[in-house]
Amino acid sequence: MNDFDGLTAIVTGGASGIGAATAALLRDRGARVASLDRSYPTAAFDSTAAIFQVPCDVANAGSSAAAVALAAEHLGRLDVLINNAGIGATGDVAANDDDEWLRVLNVNVVGIARITRTALPLLVQSAHASIVNTASVVANVGVGQRALYSASKGAVQSLTLAMAADHVKQGVRVNAVAPGTADTPWVGRLLEQAQDAAAAAAALRARQPMGRLVTADEVAFAIAYLASPLSGSTTGSILAVDGGMSGLRVS
């Protein structure tokens, strides 16, 4: 498919996992792509990946605005924004102090507002403007020991709907994906903290009716579906990519 031919995209958190898979897929389908991530030391065009890498901390207003501006200057226009950067948190509602609550919400929720507010004036000029946010299955299913993270992703889901309403008349579509547990470096780090990593991995797989983790490529495909000009009538949708975790009860 070359449905993104002639279009450009920004992917936040594009250096790893779901973001990296999404940046590569959009590129393969014809888009010119800028990946914004806090892990890049300097701005550079990666000629092997054919992706423009821009250092960006979505937790910081100045960094976010500068990164979007630099990416837009390189790309020359902006059609697609993938708000994917996010961080995790574990524990019940009492497990994290105020600083940690604010740190996680700042990245996962306010980060979307920061990046989008700079991108919007560019997006509204596109005939194929589309934003896709990365939410999570935990926005719709109570999962133990994920209070802060779930709160942040519930906010992402609500924000997605509000953004879709606000910008529909400007021709900007806004949707979200809600992945189940996906096999990315993130989950690898989670398992490293477990006392019995093999048992913890088995429990994560068993939690999803398909009995396996979601792949980053499967989430990227869903993101590309929502972002594609071919999905021109789809806005305000939350697409589950969760192996059945949110909707199925299998005995």
**CB of residue 201 vs ligand NAD: minimum separation in angstroms?**
12
Question: Which bin fits 119, alpha (ψ -120 to 50), beta or left (φ > 0)?
Answer: alpha
Q: Which residues bind ligand NAD (CB under 6 A)?
A: 12-13, 15-19, 37-39, 56-59, 84-87, 107, 134, 136, 179, 181-182, 184-187
Name which of 78 and 137 has its Cβ closer to ligand NAD: 137
Name which of 38 and 128 has its Cβ closer to ligand NAD: 38
The answer to whether the beta carbons of residues 121 and 81 sit under 8 Å apart is no
**Strand (E) or helix (H) holding 160:** helix 147-167
Question: Mind giving me the DSSP string for 193-226?
Answer: HSSSHHHHHHHHHHTSTTSSPEEHHHHHHHHHHH
Q: How far apart are CA 18 and CA 243, in angstroms?
A: 16
- The single residue of 84, 149, 213, 226 carrying the catalytic annotation is 149
**CB of residue 32 vs ligand NAD: minimum separation in angstroms?**
20
Name which of 96 and 128 has its Cβ closer to ligand NAD: 96
Residue 149 falls in the annotated catalytic set: yes
**CB of residue 153 vs ligand NAD: minimum separation in angstroms?**
7
Residues labelled as active-site residues: 149
